Structures are given as C-alpha cells and as structure tokens.
Amino acid sequence: MLEYLFNPLKFIPNEYETTIYDIDFKRLYDEGKRLIISDLDNTLISYREKMPTKELLEFKQNLKDMGFEIVICSNNHKKRVKSFCEAFGVPCVWSAHKPFVGGLRKALKKARKAYGINYTKDMVVEIGDQLLTDQFASTRYKLYTIMVRNLDPKTEIWTTRFNRRLENKILKRIKRKYPDLYEEKLSRYVGEKIAR
C-alpha cells in the first residue's frame, strides 16, 4: 500500500506549462479533449483574489468558443469556491479532498449534468498547481493532467507549504529513479520553481 501511495510515477503530470495561458488548447481539442477540470487557488487566481480577473473571463470565453467547458474542483471551502464560480459562470466542487479521487468524480458528474454532455475520462484535461493534491489525484483517476506553476507562492497556506516539502522529496526521487521522464516532464517546472 505504501509503495503504491509513494509510487513516484503517480506524481508525474502529462505536461507542464508556466501558466494556464501557455497551454496549447488547440492541440488538446484536436486530441479529443472537451472538458477542463481545474483547480482554483494559485491555478486560476491567487489566494489574494476572490473573483475572476478580466483576463480569466476572456480566457474562459476563448475556451468556450473553441468548444471546451470548465468545471472547478477545489479543496477550499464552500464560501470561497461557490462565490468565485457563480461569478465565473461554471459548476464547481468545493472541499474536494484531493488527493482523494471523489472530488474529481463529482466534478465530472456535475459537468455532465450542467452541460448535458456525457463526458468520458479521455475527454478531460485536469489542470492544477500541486503535485501532491491535483496531480496525484488526477493520475490515479486516470485523467490527462497539466501542471502549472503556482501563481503566488507567498500566499500558500501552511498545509500547502507542508505539501511542497514532500513534493521536493518526491521530485528528487523521480529524478533519481526515472531521469528521462524527469527531464521530459518536470525539469522545467523545477527550474522555474528555483528561479523565482
């Protein structure tokens, strides 16, 4: 069980991009992706912000025009997640308890209901800024995962800072055991993390 939990392969995202705005959604659409399950804090907005930014609203409109829909899956509490998602105009799951997969399952269900499309897992792209919660949950739930850099590391709460310490350990382990995969999927993330 422990070996399974700490299998470093479960922490490797399919792609890494610095921000959500750098992701090649055109290609993802061509590959059959239609639904985005996104984390909220430090992926779409920082902890300092409460509402979607103008840039984010434009981003959502562009995605809609392309043929994507969005659902938010966040570990944060109801009040913050719900008020953000009402303003953003997308369905959401709060208190998702990632790295457990229940929140993602719920998000997929909510998206099917809200958009009237029977999304399958292979149509989903998951986006998040944490290896230990977002990526770990999503790879186990067998979703295509994209890791982004956290928007504002100074605002991370204590649980996240604790997770980041573990994350560093896991990153080292991946580098040691799977140097090629590390180079391909994670070295840019680590480089940008150290650089700031």
Q: Which one of the spans 27-35, 48-56, 82-90, 126-134 is the region binding Mg ion (CB under 5 A)?
A: 126-134
Instruction: Select from 126, 129, 156, 167 the one that contacts Mg ion (CB under 5 A).
Output: 129
Task: Mark the segment that binds Mg ion (CB under 5 A) among 15-23, 33-41, 61-69, 90-98.
Answer: 33-41
Which residue matches tokens 């149509």? 123
State the Cα–Cα distance between residues 174 and 2, nearest whole angstrom.
Answer: 16
| Amino acid type, 12 | I
The span of 22-30, 32-40, 59-67, 100-108 binding Mg ion (CB under 5 A) equals 32-40
Residue 41 contacts Mg ion per CB under 5 A: yes
Is 89 within 8 Å of 83 (Cβ atoms)?
no
CA-based radius of gyration for the chain: 16
The stretch near Mg ion (CB under 5 A) out of 5-13, 37-45, 98-106, 183-191 is 37-45
Residue 194's Cβ-count burial label (10 Å; 0-12, 13-18, 19+) is exposed
Shortest reach from residue 153's CB to Mg ion, in Å: 11
Q: Among 11, 28, 35, 42, which residue interacts with Mg ion (rule: CB under 5 A)?
A: 42
Omega of the bond prior to 179 within 30 degrees of 0, cis? no
Residue 27 or 165 with smaller CB distance to Mg ion: 165
Q: Is 126 in the site for Mg ion (CB under 5 A)?
A: no
Q: How far is the CB of 26 from Mg ion (least distance, A)?
A: 25
Say whether residue 156 binds Mg ion (CB under 5 A): no
- Give the Cα separation of 56 and 52 in Å (integer): 6
Q: Does 167 bind Mg ion (CB under 5 A)?
A: no
DSSP class of residue 41 equals B
Largest CA distance in the chain: 45
Interaction of residue 69 with Mg ion, rule CB under 5 A = no
Look at residue 155 and give its three-state secondary structure: helix
Residue 38 touching Mg ion (CB under 5 A)? no
Residues lying near Mg ion in the complex (CB under 5 A):
39, 41-43, 129
